[in-house]
């Protein structure tokens, strides 16, 4: 399995953020992988997903949002986050020019990617993959945060836990249905927003993550054949 290589990603206005490129020689696709609001690109979940995708032939470019690069606990404003997404996608094209490119991320990172795509298509991106799309605040079900997805014209994969308090399936399923053939929903029994399952369930976080990565890789393969 390929080791992650540190890279620097230039953002407009002279700002830059750190990235981690993980690409094996047999990779068949690349994923520009944004982190969530509360943890950066080196979080164990991010690293485990990147490792698992590498084993399944998908390279990753993990990257920091500017606020995380500064050590701030407050997420960036959308315009700043969108600029970081665009810079990371451009960097992925430069770093892995022969690989079909996908983009998305965990929670906040996935939503910022979809907003950027909706505002103006990300160059070279074949599809978006969301690991726990944050549809609404906990306890306040709403589909308002999904309105921009109507403007996304590339395929989308939603990987969601059935206990995700930030995306109740009763609200998410109609959103996915409305998007039609562009959207696919894969759900994971008893997993929460972090894809954690209770010990009492008899399952394990490792098993959930393995199933998630298998479905991720299968979905990608079907779109690059």
Question: pLDDT by residue for the chain (225 residues), tens digit each?
Answer: 678 999 999 998 778 999 999 998 899 999 999 999 989 999 999 999 999 999 999 999 999 999 999 999 899 999 999 999 999 999 999 999 999 999 999 999 999 999 999 999 999 999 999 999 999 999 999 999 999 999 999 999 999 999 999 999 999 999 999 999 999 999 999 999 999 999 888 789 999 999 999 999 999 999 997
Range of the domain at 206: 5-224
- Classify strands 156-161 and 183-188 as parallel, antiparallel or unpaired: parallel
pLDDT attached to residue 12: 82
pLDDT attached to residue 58: 98
Q: How many Å apart are CA 103 and CA 101, to the nearest integer?
A: 7
pLDDT attached to residue 84: 97
Other CB atoms within 10 Å distance of the CB of residue 122: 25
Q: How many Å apart are CA 219 and CA 170, to the nearest integer?
A: 23
pLDDT attached to residue 82: 97
Tell me the HSE value of 62 on the side-chain side, using a 13 A CA sphere: 26
Do the Cβ atoms of 136 and 145 come closer than 8 Å? Answer: yes
- Which CATH number is 17's domain given? 3.40.50.1820
Q: What is the pTM of this model?
A: 0.96
Which residues have C-beta within 8 Å of that of residue 2, sequence separation ≥ 6? Answer: 22, 23, 24, 25, 54, 59
Do the Cβ atoms of 53 and 60 come closer than 8 Å? Answer: yes
Q: Is the dihedral of CA 69, 74, 80, 81 positive or negative?
A: positive
Token reading at 146: 């999904």
Number of structural domains (the chain) is: 1
């Amino acid at each position: 399995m390929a080791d992650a290589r540190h890279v620097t990603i230039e953002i407009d206005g002279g700002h830059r953020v750190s990235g981690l490129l993980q690409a094996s020689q047999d990779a068949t696709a690349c994923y520009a992988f944004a982190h969530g609001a509360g943890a950066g690109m080196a979080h164990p979940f991010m690293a485990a997903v990147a490792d698992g995708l590498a084993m399944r032939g998908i390279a990753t470019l993990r990257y920091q949002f500017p606020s995380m690069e500064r050590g701030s606990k407050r997420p960036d404003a959308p315009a700043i986050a969108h600029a970081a997404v665009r810079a990371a996608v451009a960097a992925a094209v430069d770093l892995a020019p022969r690989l079909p490119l996908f983009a998305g991320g965990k929670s906040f990172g996935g939503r910022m990617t979809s907003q950027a795509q909706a505002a103006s298509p990300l160059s070279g991106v074949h599809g978006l993959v969301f690991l726990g799309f944050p549809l609404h605040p906990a306890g306040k079900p709403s589909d308002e945060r999904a309105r921009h997805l109507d403007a996304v014209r590339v395929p989308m994969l939603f990987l969601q836990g059935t206990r995700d308090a930030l995306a109740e399936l009763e609200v998410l399923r109609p959103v996915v249905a409305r998007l039609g053939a562009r959207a696919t929903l894969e759900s994971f029994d008893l997993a929460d927003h972090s894809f954690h399952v209770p010990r009492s369930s008899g399952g394990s976080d490792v098993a959930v993550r393995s199933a998630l990565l298998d479905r991720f890789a299968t979905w990608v393969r079907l779109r690059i054949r």
